[in-house]
Amino acid sequence: MFFDWNHILTPIATIAFELIYLGVIIGAITVVILDNGYPVKTIAWVLVLAFLPFVGLIFYFFFGRNIHRQRIISRKSYNRLLKKPMAEYLAQNASEIPEEYNRLIQFFQNTNQSFPFDGNRVEIYTDGFTKMQVLIRELQKAKHHIHIEYYLIEDDPVGRSVRDVLIEKAKQGVEVRFIYDDVGCWTLKDSFLKEMRDVGIEIKAFLEVHFPLLTSKVNYRNHRKIVVIDGCVGFIGGMNLAERYVNGLSWGLWRDMHIFIEGKAVHGLQTAFLLDWYFVSRTLITSFEYFPRIKPCGSILAQIVTADPIGQWKEIMQGLILAISGAKKYFYMQTPYFLPTDPVLIAIQTAALSGVD
């Protein structure tokens, strides 16, 4: 007597596969519920996994996983890094903070451990040509260190002009550390970076992605544009290191903005860079030589605020809502990407309906 094992094993294998797959889906839904703190997002992913199980599982693996719980730096190390700007903050005279800004400044200080510093000089640039002229000029003045972090740098006249200055300063003995985003610089050739590494420039990629379509890291990018020179001069804004930010594209230029800062507020930029440097290199830099004492060089009170996917609060969004709700006459905003969350949109609508320009 012969048994037809195919007829017996096929149903068993099918049932086993279905049970395993059902277990995976239930497990994924459980992870979504436990991992996400936002009800709307949680419900959306549960529905996707329930009604599009196979496709939904793939999408969740690449784009839905939450990295908020990943601790990138210990509290002890974080406090060591904050000790330097905090010392400078406590040493300064009590600043005259306008009453209308007091709540906003206090909010950022409590949620972001961001300190307001007085005596700064600030310049705002809305064209890439001026920004690049000033950036090159200040880089050439560097004597101790240059910390530079960009989402995008291209092998074009603009990118090469910055690279050449960095190489020149490194040859003079200036410490140069450079962070670039691995997705933003996906097309940048290794030879471009090799020329910098060969002269001793320390270069790190933010969240390296070897296969962009096969990893959830592609969804977490670093769009910061930070430059810190000798701990007392800095740049921050929206312009990357590419020729199109100077000359535009075939259809023309677009509105963008970059800010030059000289003064104690640069310590906030330095802290942001060094946190990112620790993340990409696992090297914690806390020496006072990166946070020099700076004499007042202007009259601007400035506070550097950062945000990232792992923080407890949504500092930027909450700060916007607080600023909008506190506006009495007008509220003007500039952003290249106007995709407001519902709370921000409601705050804008409420302000407009109450007579705020």
3-class DSSP string for 279-330: HHHCCCCCCHHHCCCCCCCCCEEECCCCCCCCCCCCHHHHHHHHHHHHCCCC
Average pLDDT on 202-207 reads 92
Q: Do 212 and 349 fall within a single domain?
A: no
Q: What is the pLDDT of residue 3?
A: 45
Task: Show Cβ contacts of residue 287 under 8 Å, excluding neighbours closer than 6 positions.
Answer: none
**Per-residue pLDDT band at 219 (split at 50, 70, 90):** low
- Which residue is listed with tokens 């607080």? 322
The number of beta carbons lying within 10 Å of the beta carbon of residue 200 is 13
Task: Reply yes or no on whether the pLDDT at 159 is more than 90.
Answer: yes
Sign of CA dihedral 338, 340, 345, 351: negative
**Per-residue pLDDT band at 252 (split at 50, 70, 90):** confident
Q: What is the pLDDT of residue 320?
A: 92
Q: Do 91 and 106 fall within a single domain?
A: yes
Question: Does residue 13 fall inside a structural domain?
Answer: yes
Q: What is the pLDDT of residue 314?
A: 84
Residues 197 and 188: their CA atoms lie apart, in Å, by 15
Residue pair 248/281 in contact (Cβ under 8 Å)? The answer is no
Task: Reply yes or no on whether the pLDDT at 334 is more than 50.
Answer: yes
Task: Reply yes or no on whether the pLDDT at 83 is more than 80.
Answer: no
Residues 241 and 225: their CA atoms lie apart, in Å, by 9
Question: Does residue 69 fall inside a structural domain?
Answer: no
- Which residue is listed with tokens 């705050």? 347
Average pLDDT, the chain: 82
Residue pair 296/266 in contact (Cβ under 8 Å)? The answer is no
Residue pair 322/104 in contact (Cβ under 8 Å)? The answer is yes
Residues 163 and 167: their CA atoms lie apart, in Å, by 6
Tell me the residue range of the domain where 42 lies.
Answer: 5-64
Q: Do 119 and 264 fall within a single domain?
A: yes
Average pLDDT on 26-36 reads 61
Residue pair 276/243 in contact (Cβ under 8 Å)? The answer is no
Residue pair 84/52 in contact (Cβ under 8 Å)? The answer is no
Q: Do 89 and 52 fall within a single domain?
A: no
Q: What is the pLDDT of residue 249?
A: 87
173: domain CATH number is: 3.30.870.10
Residue pair 248/225 in contact (Cβ under 8 Å)? The answer is no
Question: Does residue 145 fall inside a structural domain?
Answer: yes
Q: Do 305 and 191 fall within a single domain?
A: yes
- β-pair type (233-237, 258-262): antiparallel
Residues 234 and 267: their CA atoms lie apart, in Å, by 9
Q: What is the pLDDT of residue 64?
A: 57
Average pLDDT on 116-137 reads 95
Question: Does residue 187 fall inside a structural domain?
Answer: yes
Q: Do 292 and 328 fall within a single domain?
A: no
Q: Do 23 and 86 fall within a single domain?
A: no
Q: Do 52 and 135 fall within a single domain?
A: no
Where on the phi/psi map is residue 119: left (φ > 0), alpha (ψ -120 to 50), or beta?
left
Question: Does residue 70 fall inside a structural domain?
Answer: no
In whole angstroms, how far apart are CA 296 and each of 98, 121, 232, 263? Answer: 19, 8, 11, 7
Average pLDDT on 345-351 reads 95
**Per-residue pLDDT band at 253 (split at 50, 70, 90):** confident
Report the domain count for the chain.
3
Q: What token pair was written down for 229?
A: 């020179």
Higher local confidence (pLDDT), 5 or 348: 348
Q: Do 104 and 143 fall within a single domain?
A: yes
Question: Does residue 122 fall inside a structural domain?
Answer: yes
Q: Do 44 and 171 fall within a single domain?
A: no
Average pLDDT on 130-153 reads 97
Where on the phi/psi map is residue 207: left (φ > 0), alpha (ψ -120 to 50), or beta?
left
Q: Do 121 and 228 fall within a single domain?
A: yes
Average pLDDT on 75-101 reads 66
- State pLDDT tens for residues 32-50: 555 555 555 666 666 666 6
Average pLDDT on 42-69 reads 61
**Per-residue pLDDT band at 227 (split at 50, 70, 90):** very high
Q: What is the pLDDT of residue 69?
A: 46
Task: Reply yes or no on whether the pLDDT at 224 is more than 70.
Answer: yes
Task: Reply yes or no on whether the pLDDT at 16 is more than 50.
Answer: yes
pTM for this structure? 0.80
Q: Do 232 and 333 fall within a single domain?
A: no
Q: What is the pLDDT of residue 319?
A: 92
Higher local confidence (pLDDT), 100 or 197: 197
Distance of CA 276 to the CA centre of its chain: 9
Task: Reply yes or no on whether the pLDDT at 52 is more than 50.
Answer: yes
